[in-house]
Structure 1
Amino acid sequence: MAIIYALVARGSVILAEFSATPTNASSISRQILDKIPGNDDSHVSYSQDRYIFHVKRTDGLTVLCMADDTAGRRIPFAFLEDIHQRFVRTYGRAVHSANAYGMNDGFSRVLSQQMEYYSNDPNADRINRLKGEMSQVRNVMIENIDKVLERGDRLELLVDKTTNMQGNTMRFRKQARRFRNTGNADNPPPSDCLPGFGFCLSWSDITYLPIMTTAICLGLVIGADDLDYICSCLSSEAMALIGHCLRI
């Protein structure tokens, strides 16, 4: 199992934790919590033998996990981001005044489930790989634009980008038409309403819509298999929404 231990804390007060195997991770984590400087947001990692402690602090709330050193950084930090969002969404302002282990009974199960998911489910890395590729493309494009402006051949860059964008848009239109006609019965029921549009989006939509729209806007070419996979995860409402934006 790639991720072995995880906790959520406010300062040095642990609110919830879970360990997949008996370790001394809890005592080491307490030392780390005491030594994290200040209250500034941070993303840091600490090594201990063949394990790495990854730490994400946001708005005074710290999520920490211990992972095998072969797990890299992408999956552990994706796990930490997921846990942070779930914890804040579940407990809201209560996190600012809760006692030590005040959320442990309810949230340790979530930690266990998500540790299992991010350690063993290949789709967890697939999602984050796609997000990572788009982030890299965005950074590269910003750098390239600066260089192109210096050279004076901006037109060539814009033409290349437009070509990629058109190709992505056409591929997505075909997928959207197919889903509009057949629907997507495999998606879970909607769980989040989108104000002003009169329908709801599922959690899968919330995960994959930014990936698809960012890819189209950036002109990022997505492989056929990945495109099919993303579209299969979107509800018919989400496909219709983007299809309407593309005027198909």
Structure 2
Amino acid sequence: MGILYGMVARGQVVLTEFSATHTNASTVARQILEKMTQGKNDSNSSFSHDRYIFHVKRTDGLTVLCMADDASGRRIPFAFLEDIHQRFVKTYGRAIQSASAYAMNEEFSRVLSQQMDHFSTDPNADRLNRLKGEMSQVRSVMIDNIEKVLERGDRLELLVEKTCSMQGNSLRFKSQSRRYKNTMWWSNCKITVTLIFLLSLIIAYALFSFVF
């Protein structure tokens, strides 16, 4: 159900109010105003009445009041009261001090209705829960990033292993190539020596035949 009634008053002079349900909220609110005007200090108060809780914020002689069901707690209703107080002061300024009863009702009752619905139905209206949701999203992103970093680390380790393996294969290839080159060099030397020896024999045989 959420917030069902809202009011803004200067002292006991009601400047605007709106009710989303048919109850005696307006009557009870005026009784609360009579009690609140006996004190002059700024305050935040809550009063229970039947199944509902009346929450009151008094600042600089301006009283903002709402009625909500018990399930709404205190945080959301007082966030609503703070929002209404800021909007009302920003909209009317000094005119608040001399305004007559219900002078702002035609215009601002629509704002009360709109914000009552917003704070009653929109999860983002609860600043603490919204921050918790944002922190949860940030945490999820951080976990996702950490997993990506770890996964990237695994890929880097695999790449390093492959690089080391390739370097090892390259060294073995160079060593084998060097041995093969040496083997071929000795083989060529042997062939060259053999050819020179055979050529020497042929020349010697030819000279010997020519002489005799």
**Could you state the TM-score of these two structures normalised by the residue count of structure 2?**
0.62
| Cα distance change of structure 1 residues 224 and 66 upon mapping to structure 2, 3 Å threshold | closer
Higher normalized helix content (fraction of residues): 2
Contact 2:124 2:130 in 1 (8 A): no
* 1:105-124 mapped onto 2 (5 Å cutoff): 105-124=106-125
Q: Which residue of structure 1 aligns with residue 71 of structure 2?
A: 70
Contact 1:43 1:56 in 2 (8 A): yes
Contact 2:4 2:116 in 1 (8 A): yes
Task: Tell me the distance in 2 between the aligned counterparts of 1:226 and 1:49.
Answer: 42
Contact 1:75 1:128 in 2 (8 A): no
Q: Which residue of structure 1 aligns with residue 50 of structure 2?
A: 49
| Cα distance change of structure 1 residues 223 and 83 upon mapping to structure 2, 3 Å threshold | same
Q: Which residue of structure 1 aligns with residue 137 of structure 2?
A: 225
| Cα distance change of structure 1 residues 118 and 35 upon mapping to structure 2, 3 Å threshold | same
1:6 and 2:6 are equivalent in the alignment: yes
Q: How many residues align?
A: 138
Q: Which residue of structure 1 aligns with residue 91 of structure 2?
A: 90
The CA deviation string for residues 193-213 of structure 1, in whole angstroms up to 9 with x for no partner, is xxxxxxxxxxxxxxxxxxxxx
- Larger RCO: Structure 1 or Structure 2 (Cα < 8 Å, ≥ 6 residues apart)? 2
Task: Tell me the distance in 1 between the aligned counterparts of 2:85 and 2:62.
Answer: 8
One-letter amino acid of the structure 1 residue matched with residue 11 of structure 2: G
User: Could you list the runs of 4 or more consecutive aligned residues of structure 1 that deviate by over 3 angstroms after TM superposition?
Assistant: 128-131
| Cα distance change of structure 1 residues 31 and 129 upon mapping to structure 2, 3 Å threshold | same
1:22 and 2:46 are equivalent in the alignment: no
Give unpaired runs (5+ residues) of structure 2: 141-212
- The structure whose Rg is larger is 2
One-letter amino acid of the structure 2 residue matched with residue 225 of structure 1: Q
**Could you state the TM-score of these two structures normalised by the residue count of structure 1?**
0.53
State the Cα distance separating 1:49 from its structure 2 match.
Answer: 1.1
Identical positions, percent: 67
35-44 vs 115-124, which moves further: 35-44
Task: Tell me the distance in 2 between the aligned counterparts of 1:130 and 1:40.
Answer: 32
Task: Tell me the distance in 2 between the aligned counterparts of 1:29 and 1:74.
Answer: 20
Task: Tell me the distance in 2 between the aligned counterparts of 1:72 and 1:224.
Answer: 23
